[in-house]
């Protein structure tokens, strides 16, 4: 997942970044799959932001028990058909507890997207800073950062996450997930930024700015950084679904988001014993998780294609 850059970049390229961002959006909207993925992503973000309003309109909450919506004679199965879907509970209720599935799904989207975006933001900040330093300065800085990236990328991060979260029961799990996911995610950003920075640092426009007396900080921030935003955007877009899937997997295993906070992975785990009798409860969070991960992956691929000059010529 790399973007080919020329060894010599025109001196006015930084001033065209804003126009490139607008043209990038136009190219994405011209692709049906990219436009659909972007629509889904925007809709999911709006659903997450409007979760309190949605649950208020539905007249329920993600932690409220509705004992009248389940049938004790049937072992706690929802009353009615399709998992208890009705005008009161638009997506049905949880077996046993009677909690509203719609409320838990929209709040689950809020939790998953918040954790994924914050973790991705942390990994992008760390990866960009360290990758720029390694690629631009080279030498011992590059060697040190490179070995650290190799170490973290070869480390069994999932096992470490499970062990760390299990060993810290009193810590805010959502915050811990953000820190752990962001810490183990930055080497993937750093490696790509490092490669791009190495090419850009040898470009003529950087050499010209250096001759004119620009400091290293100015060269990094004003000349090199704006020209690596494309690869960073691609990596960040692809990292978000990875974080969402990892959080869901950890919650499924019981070491992710702690109850009663809703999580899609947690809902899927609690639906496993009921999947034969109430498949709707198992299906709904699974579909939301699948569609979310797919939409971000398709959007990331589309952004990469839009930024790749070779794909524009096809």
Q: What pLDDT digit, counting tens, does each position of 193-234 carry?
A: 998 888 877 777 666 766 666 666 777 777 778 888 888 988
For position 222, what pLDDT does the model report?
Answer: 75
Residue 124 backbone dihedrals phi, psi, to 5 degrees? -70, -45
| Contact in structure between 105 and 61 (CB atoms under 8 Å) | no
For position 66, what pLDDT does the model report?
Answer: 83
* SS3 state at 195: helix
For position 305, what pLDDT does the model report?
Answer: 82
Going by C-alpha positions, the residue among 262, 292, 266, 268 that lies closest to residue 281 is 268
**DSSP secondary structure, 34-79, as one string:** HHHHHHHHHHHHHHHHTHHHHHHHHT--TT---GGGEEGGGTSEES
For position 137, what pLDDT does the model report?
Answer: 86
For position 22, what pLDDT does the model report?
Answer: 61
| C-alpha span between 264 and 287 (Å, rounded) | 10
For position 214, what pLDDT does the model report?
Answer: 66
Check whether 6 has a pLDDT greater than 60. Answer: no
Going by C-alpha positions, the residue among 243, 236, 253, 208 that lies closest to residue 300 is 236
| Contact in structure between 66 and 261 (CB atoms under 8 Å) | no
Residue with tokens 């183990």: 184
pTM, entire model: 0.83
12-33 pLDDT, tens digit each: 433 444 455 567 677 777 888 8
Going by C-alpha positions, the residue among 255, 256, 275 that lies closest to residue 112 is 256
Q: Which residue has the higher pLDDT, 313 or 222?
A: 222
| Contact in structure between 134 and 146 (CB atoms under 8 Å) | yes
41-99 pLDDT, tens digit each: 999 999 999 999 999 988 888 988 888 888 887 778 888 778 788 888 889 889 888 89
pLDDT band at 257 (very low <50, low <70, confident <90, very high): confident
pLDDT band at 10 (very low <50, low <70, confident <90, very high): very low
Q: Which residue has the higher pLDDT, 34 or 170?
A: 34
For position 13, what pLDDT does the model report?
Answer: 39
For position 68, what pLDDT does the model report?
Answer: 84
For position 8, what pLDDT does the model report?
Answer: 36
Going by C-alpha positions, the residue among 111, 70, 112 that lies closest to residue 93 is 70
């Amino acid at each position: 997942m790399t973007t080919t850059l020329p060894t010599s970049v025109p001196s006015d390229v930084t001033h065209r970044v804003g126009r490139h961002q607008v043209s990038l959006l136009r190219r994405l909207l011209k692709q049906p799959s990219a436009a659909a993925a972007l629509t889904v992503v925007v809709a999911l973000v709006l659903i997450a932001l409007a979760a309190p309003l949605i649950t208020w309109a539905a007249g329920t909450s993600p932690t409220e028990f509705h004992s009248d919506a389940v049938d004790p004679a049937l072992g706690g199965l929802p009353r009615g058909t399709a998992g208890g879907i009705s005008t009161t509970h638009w997506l049905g209720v949880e077996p046993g507890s009677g909690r509203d599935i719609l409320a838990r799904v929209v709040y689950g989207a809020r939790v998953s997207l918040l954790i994924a975006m914050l973790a991705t933001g942390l990994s992008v900040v760390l990866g960009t800073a360290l990758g720029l330093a390694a690629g631009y300065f080279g030498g011992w800085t590059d060697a040190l950062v490179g070995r650290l990236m190799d170490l973290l990328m070869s480390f069994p991060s999932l096992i470490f996450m499970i062990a760390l979260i299990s060993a810290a029961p009193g810590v805010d799990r959502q915050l811990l997930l953000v820190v752990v996911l962001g810490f183990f995610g930055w080497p993937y950003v750093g490696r790509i930024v490092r490669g791009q920075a190495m090419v850009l640092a040898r470009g003529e426009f950087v050499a010209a700015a250096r001759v004119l007396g620009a400091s290293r900080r100015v060269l990094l921030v004003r000349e090199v950084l704006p020209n690596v935003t494309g690869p960073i955007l691609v990596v960040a877009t692809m990292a978000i679904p990875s974080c969402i899937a990892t959080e869901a997997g950890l919650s499924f295993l019981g070491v992710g988001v702690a109850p009663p906070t809703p999580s899609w992975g947690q809902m899927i785990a609690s639906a496993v014993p009921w999947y034969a009798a109430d498949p709707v409860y198992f299906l709904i969070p699974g579909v939301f998780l699948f569609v979310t991960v797919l939409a971000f992956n398709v959007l990331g691929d589309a952004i990469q294609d839009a930024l790749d000059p070779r794909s524009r010529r096809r």
